[in-house]
């Protein structure tokens, strides 16, 4: 039999009137959702304790009150909510159920809370007698949703920023790879030119001298004593010239080999190679050198790491010679707390910090990439007119000690 929304007597609760069967009364009072009924005028016919508590009322104080005026009178922003627009009332006026989660109910103390409510018409045959409304306080759910959305927005922002950083890094790596390939090609071109111009010309001169000697030795005509003496002098001169050409060729071959890979690095190790490079390059560029090295005896780095450190050091000195316009260079090499600390400081013109971060600062980029590959770091401190301090910090996890 359909429920008859008959009002209980004044001051009585719905449960005390006997209008509800006990199981229904227990069900309404045990649920955590708010439930109330309204008649065709919108007045409350029943309400459970959970619903009245959420609204800040006692159940008896709500009965016979117009529920729209009591708890649904305004929008979340405080604007008046016309009863004709209320979905709860439309549920029985148009026999149209609804489920809403974007509105608020108002408490007795004037505060509002977000709710999700459903309104269903009460039918007696084909006649609508009122509506039943269930509602829950979704403050926690709304806060969780807002927190989730905030976290999602922050994550999207971080992903976006990281994507831009990775894209920029990828672009730099591509430029660095292109630069490295150009440097390799330039180096091949330089070596080919030196081999052609230096060694090629020396070998041609040697070949001409050898041919001259062969021709003279093959001559069978008789010579006077004076002519023979003169020929011996000329041949001795040719031999001496050939010896000088051979020595020059040997020196050129050694220089080219040293440019490609310093033999001192293989024969005497990294520390000797660093000292040789500094004392060979800087005085030749008329730069005063202040050299300090304090490295434990017998400490060695793996071959690949030693070569990387040497190339970074070469680039540091090369930058000083080419760009710094300095007069003095201080070099310090030491081992500190498991790190190799190598610094090159000049008294030159310096440069703003952004100059070392520029997209075309391939030398600096190359040094940093070499260091990063082996877990090291690069630091550059520079101020216009006050010189530059370039430091390399290299972990010695794979270093070995020989007593």
How far apart (Å, rounded) are the C-alpha atoms in residues 65 and 61?
A: 8
Cα separations (Å) of 324 from 32, 133, 167, 306, 376? 78, 82, 32, 26, 24
Cα-Cα-Cα-Cα torsion 81, 84, 89, 93, nearest 10 degrees, comes to -170
Confidence at residue 17, expressed as pLDDT on a 0 to 100 scale: 43
Q: Using CA atoms in the order 151, 152, 157, 159, what is the torsion angle rounded to 10 degrees?
A: 110
Q: What's residue 3's pLDDT?
A: 40
Q: Are 332 and 389 in contact (CB under 8 A)?
A: no
Reported pTM: 0.45
pLDDT tens string, the chain, 403 residues long: the values are: 344 444 444 444 444 444 445 676 777 777 889 999 999 889 999 999 999 999 999 999 999 999 999 999 999 999 999 988 888 887 777 777 889 988 999 999 999 999 999 998 888 877 888 899 999 999 998 899 899 999 999 999 999 998 888 888 777 777 777 676 676 666 666 666 666 666 667 777 777 777 777 677 656 454 566 776 777 777 777 777 777 777 777 777 666 666 666 677 778 889 999 999 899 889 888 999 999 999 988 888 888 888 889 989 989 998 999 888 999 999 999 998 888 999 999 999 988 877 787 766 777 888 888 888 888 999 999 988 889 999 999 998 866 664 4
Tokens found for residue 308: 């990387």
Tokens of 226: 């004076």
Crossing angle of helices 303-319 and 270-284, in 10° steps, is 10
pLDDT given for residue 94 in this prediction:
77
User: What's the pLDDT score for residue 223?
Assistant: 59
Angle between helices 139-194 and 362-373 (to 10 degrees): 110
């Amino acid at each position: 039999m359909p429920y008859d929304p008959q009002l209980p007597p004044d001051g009585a609760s719905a449960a005390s009137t006997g209008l509800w069967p006990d199981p229904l009364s227990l069900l309404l009072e045990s649920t955590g959702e708010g439930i109330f009924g309204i008649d065709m005028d919108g007045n409350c016919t029943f309400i459970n304790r959970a619903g009245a508590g959420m609204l800040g009322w006692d159940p008896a104080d709500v009965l016979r009150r117009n529920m729209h005026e009591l708890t649904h009178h305004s929008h979340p922003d405080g604007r008046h909510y016309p009863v004709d627009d209320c979905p709860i009332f439309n549920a029985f006026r148009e026999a149209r159920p609804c489920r809403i989660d974007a509105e608020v109910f108002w408490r007795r103390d004037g505060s509002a809370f977000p709710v999700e409510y459903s309104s269903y018409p009460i039918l007696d045959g084909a006649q609508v007698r009122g509506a039943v409304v269930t509602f829950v306080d979704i403050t926690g759910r709304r806060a969780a949703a807002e927190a989730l959305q905030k976290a999602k927005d922050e994550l999207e922002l971080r992903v976006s920023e990281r994507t831009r950083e990775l894209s920029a890094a990828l672009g730099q790596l591509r430029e660095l790879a292109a630069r490295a390939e150009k440097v390799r090609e330039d180096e091949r071109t330089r070596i080919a030119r030196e081999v052609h111009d230096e060694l090629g010309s020396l070998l041609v001169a040697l070949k001409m001298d050898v041919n001259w000697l062969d021709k003279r030795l093959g001559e069978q005509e008789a010579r006077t004593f004076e002519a023979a003496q003169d020929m011996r002098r000329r041949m001795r001169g040719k031999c001496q010239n050939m010896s000088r050409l051979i020595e020059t060729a040997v020196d050129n071959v050694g220089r080219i080999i040293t440019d490609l890979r310093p033999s001192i690095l293989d024969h005497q190790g990294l520390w000797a190679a660093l000292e040789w490079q500094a004392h060979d390059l800087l005085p030749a560029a008329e730069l005063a050198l202040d050299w300090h090295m304090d490295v434990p005896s017998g400490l060695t780095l793996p071959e690949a790491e030693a070569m990387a450190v040497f190339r970074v050091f070469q680039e540091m000195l090369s930058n000083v010679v080419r760009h710094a316009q300095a007069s003095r260079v201080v070099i310090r090499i030491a081992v500190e707390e498991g790190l190799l600390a190598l610094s090159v400081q000049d008294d030159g013109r310096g440069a703003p910090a952004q100059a070392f971060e520029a997209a075309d600062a391939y030398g600096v980029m190359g040094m940093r990439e070499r260091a990063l590959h082996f877990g090291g770091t690069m630091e550059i401190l520079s101020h216009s007119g006050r010189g530059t301090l370039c430091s390399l910090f290299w972990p010695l996890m794979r270093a070995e000690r020989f007593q």
